[in-house]
Chains A and B, each alone.
Chain A
Amino acid sequence: MASLATAALASSLLAACGGGDGTPQLNWYVNPDGVDTFRTYADECSTDDYDIAVQQLPASATDQRTQLARRLAAKDSSTDIMNLDPVFVAEFANAGWLQEVPEEVASKITDGGDYLEGAADTVTWDDTVFAIPLWANTQVLWYRKSLADAAGLDMSQPVTWDQVIDAAAQEGGTVGVQANRYEAYVVWINALVQGAGGDIVSDTEAGRDAKVDLDSEAGRDAAAVIKKLADSDARQADFTVSNEGTSLGQMFPADGPGEFMTNWTFVYANYKGLVGKPGGPADEQEFEDLGWARYPQTVQGETSKPPIGGIDIGVGAYSEHPDWAMEAAQCITSTKAQVDLAINDGLMPSTNSAYDEVASSGEFPEDLLELYRTSVDEGGPRPKSPFYSQISSAVQSVWHSPTSVDPDSTPKESARFLADVLAGKRLL
């Protein structure tokens, strides 16, 4: 009787760990964008050997990172597959929380063939590939063609931040950015610094001894752009707390000429879905007035470095089924999956072949897709460091509020503070 009860209990516990029929379950932790497509691919990529179960992470990148890190730090064997923001890969890999991607898969990512260079760059740490790119996000300059025309700005040529700010101010328009005290503000600062040929930090593989480069001409150029916008009439009312969503409504306002806005790729699908609705273009003709161009230059003549975002798929180091998890990771990052994510959810692919298929679907203007692809390929990643979180927080701490940024003092003060934080001599 006792043995029967034990057997029943054991089988129910085993069933709880796997699928209903006793098949092992691989947990796939996903961020909330594109969850329906993820569920489809969890089903499609499940095999007779294992079922893939989608587990949803919190909405904010910071909370996603914290939750995954807490599981992995505790050597959680049920964290099999996970969606990672590119800036987490170095941190997680250096902590020993990610499986290395097998050589035959890794070489396809890094050989400069199908994968976009910017996307491939996000998954390597210490010359080893630790994740597989799923989608690659980037920022472009969105604008009203009528506003640029009125200001006499030739958008077929690269434009600078100075030109964009002056044009908007001259015509009574605005410039939308992300300047709240959060990660996206660092995305902007990093793009400005890299666009001027510099870096926030370099030699990041040296860990705490990474070289802090912010106190440089590039740092001062970046600060000058922020100061110019902060002092300009083109600054939006909520400039100091602005985020990805706040400036969307300024593109097609009830009054006024609209705006220039640096923002991620979701913007096109957003306005397309809002034609005739509040916050969107009044009609198709007004939607046609939406323009896009490469991310503005920090310094005239110096190629801009558009920000890189997206999601990489990592396999947990403590997974009980590492081989199956890696197999599943390849399946859920397939070209077909990337195309579906782009078409269903507006999340752009990380490979050229997927881009070609998205282009042939006719869902997006070809020149826009080409702009995305080039921006990812030639974009600038944020610093890859096991101390990225500290780097980001330290930069935010000194550079916020953007209205207090001064090219003469902010980069110098920020560099000193960041170096002290990395050395463990200051609190954040």
Chain B
Amino acid sequence: MTSTTVAPDTDRKTRRTDKPEASDRARAENSLGMKLVAPAIFLMLLVTAFPMLRALYLSLYNYSLTAPEERDFVGIDNYVTALTDSLFWRDTLNTVLIMVVTVAVELVIGFVFAMVMHRVIFARGVIRTSILIPYGIITVVSGFAWQFAFSNNNGFVNGWLPLIGDDFNWFGQYGSSIVAIMVSEIWKTTPFMSLLLLAGLAQVSEDMLEAAKVDGATWWQRLWKVILPNMRSAIMVAVLFRALDAYRIFDNIFVMTAGANGTESVSFLTYRQVIEQFQLGIGSALSVLLFLSVLLIAFLIVKIFRVDLAAARQEG
């Protein structure tokens, strides 16, 4: 006992006494390291922090690019304008709807794809490639492809769906327009979700699954009690990445409806203020709000999954 208690003590002492000796070299290395990464850090700050701070600064002004001399400092008025405008909230709700529906559907389909890619024995390469192809297509191109597919003139969707008339105009009203946008989004990014989930599936121990099987667990029980709890971190990463991505949706809306029938997202609203209307002040305020929303979503998702983790541990 004594020897065991003394030994770590000596160890600790040794470490403590060693530290100053090693620290000179470590400090020199740290210093060199700092000098070496300094240009990269400076460059990163320049390309990321500068535009963000600039947007924050511009958001405090009523400023149009075409009337530079009429620039007024308005403080937080732009934020008040945005947050009290029904258009902002309509677009926010729209974006949240797209995010929730597409991420939920992609999680389910993506998981099925991941299982297929994980378990498939024959033609593995071909099957994995086929599943991943949509992700390799540029979003604008897939947006156009789906727009043509849903077109009531030359699209195939109306012909394939039994309860839909051949002349049904998908882009004529809100409900069907938003469905078309979401279908395009889901088709395009489900493979990304399945890739992340596949990485998680690979981490689930085969021994545990085997043990569960020996204990008489059904397939369903193995899925809920072994596979999913062990994939929690992978699922969180997949949901987090896709949710943030979905909240910034722009390309599909731009191509398919250009925001018509109230299908505009917050990114699209920001784009219109800055690029179309040249209103740098209110546009910057919207960019900052978009950034804060993304941070909030990231925070909430991490928080929710942590709660789940704790709950799972208690259950276990």
Contacts and interface: CB of A to CB of B under 8 A. Distances in A.
Contact of B276 (A91, A95, A389): A389
Contact of B277 (A92, A389, A425): A389
A73 interface: yes
B273 to A, nearest CB: 7
Interface stretch (B5-13, B67-75, B195-203): B67-75
A426 B81 contact: yes
Nearest to A66: B275
A386 B66 CA distance: 6
Interface string B62-102: 10111110100010011001100101100000000000000
Given A207-B70, A208-B62, A387-B67, 15 more contacts: A69-B65, A96-B68, A181-B260, A208-B67, A386-B67, A389-B66, A393-B277, A424-B62, A424-B81, A424-B279, A424-B282, A426-B87, A427-B81, A427-B82, A427-B85
A91 B277 contact: no
B77 A424 contact: yes
Interface of A: 62, 66, 69-70, 73, 91-92, 94-96, 181, 207-208, 386-387, 389-390, 393, 424-428
Interface residues of B, number: 26
22 contacts: A62-B276, A66-B276, A70-B275, A92-B66, A386-B66, A386-B67, A387-B67, A389-B66, A389-B277, A390-B277, A424-B62, A424-B74, A424-B78, A424-B279, A424-B281, A426-B81, A426-B87, A427-B81, A427-B87, A427-B88, A428-B273, A428-B277
Given A424-B77, A426-B81, A73 B65 contact: yes
B269 interface: yes
Interface string B102-144: 0000000000000000000000000000000000000000000
A389 B283 CA distance: 15
Contacts of B273: 427-428
A151 B273 CA distance: 48
Interface residues of A: mostly helix, strand, loop or mixed?
helix
Nearest to B74: A424
A390 B62 CA distance: 14
- Identify whether the interface residues of B are mostly helix, strand, loop, or mixed: helix
B187 interface: no
B85 to A, nearest CB: 5
Nearest to A426: B85
A389 B273 CA distance: 11
Contacts of A207: 67, 70
B278 A69 contact: yes
B68 A95 contact: yes
Given A66-B275, A389-B276, A428-B273, A94 B67 contact: yes
Looking at B74, B77, B81, B277, the one whose CB has the most chain A CB atoms below 10 A away is B277
A34 to B, nearest CB: 26
B35 interface: no
Contacts of A426: 81, 85, 87
A425 B81 contact: yes
A178 B282 CA distance: 31
Contacts of A427: 81-82, 85, 87-88, 269, 273, 282
